[in-house]
Structure 1
Amino acid sequence: MKKYRGIYLKNEKEIGLMREANRLVSTILDMLSEAVRPGISTMALEEIADKACENFGVVPAFKGYHGFPFALCCSVNEEIVHGFPSNERILNEGDIVSIDMGVVYKGFYGDSARTYPVGSVPATTQMLLDVTRESLMKGIEQAHPGNNLYDVSRAIQEYAESFGYGIVRRFVGHGIGRNLHEKPEVPNFVPAGLPGVNLRTGMVIAIEPMVTAGTYEVEVLSDKWTAVTKDRKLSAHFEHTIAITSDGPIILSLS
């Protein structure tokens, strides 16, 4: 596997395997979208994902990763990322739940995330979801060979902040391949004073804006995993894994 500045460049075969890994992730997220409703527990969503992985013959990527105990990250309302599924956490009308999911298929990782409304949500909440999803797409549009990585970051940041939202700094996107997290880090904001890297054909990256209705400042709860907004305002999270090709970015995490 070729490397550029410590970044693994994937060939066509490897990208094909990653496309299948990510397709399976997207298929599971589709299944979960049908299950999300008022009255369901986040542990019930975990059980759906676990069973789907078993049926598809893939390994949940997150379970056991640095000790994380579940297949899903289920983050509700002010929870940004890494929330634990729980029998006690029952989704209510008007909540939002961010679900981050990964699998390992034939040695390669897939990774994607979506935020779902639970039943009917206020227009202000739906706008947060829409802007977060659209900020991801704005970032993907910039993922062309020859562009700088921070062109992706800038597009996400400028779009989300134009609506008055916050962009989480503590957690960022990443390269992905035979490892869940590879170089480069993919921030959703432009870090001051850092040059960034030029994007090359064969890079595969997971872009994942986490956008908040208030401050971008974060606290981690006593479970040492669940990250919440410091002001306890809502947070949304969308993620796609993309391959950078000579024809531009290709979203791998589509059903």
Structure 2
Amino acid sequence: MNFGRNDECWCKSGQKYKKCHMEFDEKLRKLRNQGHIVPPRNIIKNQEQIDGIKKSAQINDGVLDLVAKQIKAGMSTAEIDKLVYDYTVSHGAIPAPLNYQGFPKSVCTSINDEVCHGIPSEDIILKDGDIVNVDVSTIYNGYYSDASRMFIIGEASEEAKRLVEVSREALRRGVEAAKPWGYLGDIGEAVQEYVEANGYSVVRDFGGHGVGIQFHEDPFVAHVGKRGEGMVLVPGMVFTIEPMVNQGAYHIFVDADNDWTALTEDGSLSAQWEHTVLITETGVEILAK
């Protein structure tokens, strides 16, 4: 749809198009004509939407802070699920994973060689030396946020601790590479280059994703790639960066018993950290961590 200079801007800011997104749209048109992949308007968030996502993210961070205080050896992953559910609903929000495409719990808990989408259970007890990813997603007033953290239970091996730290640094580098008018490939190369330099591999089958109005939106955020390639990053885009780093090869499989939990094919350890980020006019802002 074309907008006149004095029409209200498509982003619903209330401003005239010429004062709001006219110059922005012209820049995108030029990039598209040069052969670049540019984002559609429906994944560019306005200020009202960004504010809503931030409120969701505050609850999401609060959930992870609570888990960080209470997670320990001897705890079942079902207890983590209850912590997440109780905190989320007590703050007027909804755990996004619960019943999402049939997922039965409020959080994903992925231990050791589980890459992602581990299902909490009373039968799964955390033990000394485990590394576990707790992946929390929250819906508040219709807005979504998503983040995960790694936790080391008791005394883990030096190699396990190193994997956790390398995966955390890989996320930091991915976030640092996300810049307005840069490219998705900038993020992928920054992550892949660092991870592989440390002797690990980056999972290809899963990646980050747009988030905010829905749980999963465009674009897909690969954690491998080349700088200067992929979709252009523009102010107003909100998505997750969540590299999954394997101790061995990047190949994975999904547990046939539950059709959810992904594991490393070679049985090696896996680690992941995740942030929800916003591309701003001047850089990147971490919304959920």
TM-score strictly above 0.5? yes
Equivalents in 1 of 2:116, 2:124: separation in Å?
Answer: 15
Whichever residue aligns with residue 183 of structure 2, its letter is: N
Whichever residue aligns with residue 239 of structure 2, its letter is: I
Equivalents in 2 of 1:226, 1:197: separation in Å?
Answer: 29
Q: Given the alignment of the two structures, is residue 202 of structure 1 paired with residue 236 of structure 2, yes or no?
A: yes
Equivalents in 1 of 2:51, 2:182: separation in Å?
Answer: 23
Equivalents in 2 of 1:95, 1:140: separation in Å?
Answer: 27
1:138-191 per-position Cα deviation (integer Å, ceiling 9, x unaligned): 011111111111101110111111101010001110011110111100011117
Q: Select the residue among 72, 77, 88 that pairs with 1:53.
A: 88
| Local SS of the residue matching 1:252 | strand
| Local SS of the residue matching 2:288 | coil
Query: Is the CA contact 2:186–2:229 (under 8 Å) kept in the aligned structure 1?
Result: no
| Match runs of 1:1-255 below 5 Å | 2=11, 4-5=39-40, 8-190=43-225, 195-222=229-256, 223-254=258-289
Equivalents in 1 of 2:191, 2:167: separation in Å?
Answer: 9
TM-score normalised according to structure 2 size:
0.84
Query: Is the CA contact 2:67–2:83 (under 8 Å) kept in the aligned structure 1?
Result: yes
Shift of 1:22: 1.2
Query: Is the CA contact 1:42–1:89 (under 8 Å) kept in the aligned structure 2?
Result: yes
Query: Is the CA contact 1:6–1:183 (under 8 Å) kept in the aligned structure 2?
Result: no
- Alignment RMSD, CA only? 1.7
Shift of 1:121: 1.2
TM-score normalised according to structure 1 size:
0.95
Equivalents in 2 of 1:233, 1:37: separation in Å?
Answer: 22
Equivalents in 2 of 1:58, 1:247: separation in Å?
Answer: 31
Query: Is the CA contact 1:7–1:183 (under 8 Å) kept in the aligned structure 2?
Result: no
Q: Which has the higher contact order (CA 8 A, sep 6+)?
A: 1
Please identify runs of 4+ aligned residues in structure 1 that moved more than 2 A: 1-7
Structure 2: gaps spanning 5 or more residues: 1-9, 12-37
| Local SS of the residue matching 2:240 | strand
Q: How many residues align?
A: 253
Go from structure 1 to structure 2 and tell me whether the alpha carbon gap of 1:71 and 1:51 turns closer, same or farther (over 3 Å shift): same
1:26-65 per-position Cα deviation (integer Å, ceiling 9, x unaligned): 1101111112111110000001001001211101101111
1:50-109 per-position Cα deviation (integer Å, ceiling 9, x unaligned): 100121110110111111111100111000000110101000000011111101011110
Query: Is the CA contact 1:7–1:182 (under 8 Å) kept in the aligned structure 2?
Result: no
Whichever residue aligns with residue 201 of structure 1, its letter is: P
1:206-255 per-position Cα deviation (integer Å, ceiling 9, x unaligned): 1100001001000111210000000111000110000000121000014x
Match of residue 3 from structure 2: none
> Greater CA radius of gyration, 1 or 2?
2
Looking at secondary structure, tell me which structure has more strand per residue.
1
